[in-house]
Structure 1
Amino acid sequence: MDVPEPPGLPDLPELLAGAHVVALPMRVRFRGVDVREAVLLRGPRGWAEWAPFPEYDDRDAARWLAAALELGWGELPKPVRGQVGVNATVPAVAAAQVEGVLARYDRCRTAKVKVAERGQTLADDVERVTEVRRLLGPDARVRVDANGAWSVDAARDALSALAPLGLEYAEQPCATVEELAALRLALARAGVDVPIAADESIRRAEDPLRVAREGAADLVVVKVAPLGGVRRALEIVADAGLPAVVSSALDTSVGLAGGVRLAAALPQLDHDCGLGTAALLAADVVPEPLVPHAGSLTTTRADAARSAVDPALLAAYSAPSERVTWWRQRLARAHALL
């Protein structure tokens, strides 16, 4: 996947002069992360966030940077809705911890539950999802996310066990497009009605439209930063021709604001979005984190977050000096690829 050219590309000294590296503690371990590091950049159109995961290569990081520059230096598409439904996100915690996690989400009607965690079993997953269903009730939407950890056979068996709990869909149950296509066929043959959503097969793929061409997914999960920006994500959704869900990449409230603007600009949005992950952070860069109220976020609050970054919070959660150096060097490499 090409790195999109961001509008009004600022030079590197300008970016470095306004870059603040923060290290934000997590409430619970999520995606193997206990502390989320991010770079906050101040542009003429508001604050932006650049936070590619450390294991991503420079080309991936450049796409994330293009998205940040669109947010801080470019012009975003006009919204077609002012409010976006948001799901709760339940990490791979013990069932006894689920209630405490859900309590941080105000009246969310949808929950995404992490499954297939390394070191855990299918029984752990079933117990966790069962508790989510019990707490949210029969009318709530419950989806699971395996982050590509299952083989086709393991995914078929796991989703067969989880399907009686009423799954809205399973997100990236297998790693490859071929496996996703094979799983959809295996589930159909087994009479298991669980739609498949593609996430990593979209945001980390050189060809993000392959899942649609090969019938490997029923819907696509799109994230602003990994895809290179709001406009690029809108193009991918349009070309895929599949229903879309907007999700976050464990962003601060500034990054989440970009996700809200993407969700608000989609011509059609039938699913609640994974933009409530600020609730997983024990600290943020704005005084009032962008967490859902009554199960939703508004574009008004999202836009406000982009201008509300608090210098005191940037200072309080500044990353250690060696990590600041690491991020600044990485920023220089990513900028060179734009």
Structure 2
Amino acid sequence: MATPPKAPRRPTVVRLFAVSMNRCAFPGCRTPLISPTGVVLGRVAHIKAQSVGGPRYDANQTAEERHGFDNLILLCAVHHIEIDADGNLDTYTVDRLLEIKRAHEVEGAASGQPIAELSEAAVNGLIIQGVVNEASVHMDFRQAVFKVGGEGGQPLGGGGQGGVLTIVGVASLPPALELELDGKPGQFPGGGGGGGGGVRFEGRTITAADLTNGVSVSSFFAANSTSWRDNMFNVLDGGCSWYPKPFPEQPLRVPVVIVLECGTTKPNELLRLDIVTESPSGAEGQPQPVDIRMTHDEHDLVRRACVAPIASFSVTDTGKYTLRVKSEGIVMASCPIEVR
């Protein structure tokens, strides 16, 4: 079963752009979506909001409908803000925006203008400017106290369970931080002790600000074998183009290498990417999360992080499979392979 999209798919954005005349759909606006020098000025805007609480949100929409062609309109940054402003929601209703979209696309189809090629970078840029929410990471843990262990049970009662503290966006906590993981003893008579707690770290998704500040996947390729030591990866037969089909009911396990340019992220930040596999039929498998720690000193002239995970996926047919590195549905890099 295909994974529900978290952002518009590439063919959808290409189709939107094809009838846009490379300009904002707002009546009378001539702002280009992509500048002559290739700078992305436009945004993919949702007519019915992509998330709960957003402008014109419709809870009855499916993810496919929410990020589908009929719910999307290409606008410049100014008019994207204009239609979503709280004071303008009575003016820019769903019906009004659908009419603006229809009129613009009819004009575009009738214009006879040739359809410009839209690069992968331009597609990602349009999506990112419109649908990636900014995330913030709180990295100052001074004076913080985390109590994760369970409290002891009261007299004649059961013991308290321990909790799990999930910290998103950082790879570790300062050594001096006060972190209580031990469960508390139960009270006399008959109170059970509290369970111990745990801490886990989870990468955050990459944001539009990260991309603007230099975060990118500079290399993504398949190999026969990989290993990792001292912040360096070793590769055997890197850049493989094909793999033998595994035995029935067995997944294909492909070693891959991801090289992430860190940009201006802070050391110890933890970013999350997803590896997603597309089969020859176009079906996407379940995302495999990969967390990457920003380990280099922020004063380094070149800051780069590498990981060498295993992409594991089911194979039903021979043919071309495409491995993609994504963040919040945005394609950061692709690597096609053949299964024979």
Same-fold call, TM > 0.5? no
TM-score normalised over the length of structure 1 = 0.24
* Relative contact order higher in (CA < 8 Å, ≥ 6 apart): 1
Larger strand fraction of residues: 2
Larger Rg: 2
Larger helix fraction of residues: 1
TM-score normalised over the length of structure 2 = 0.23
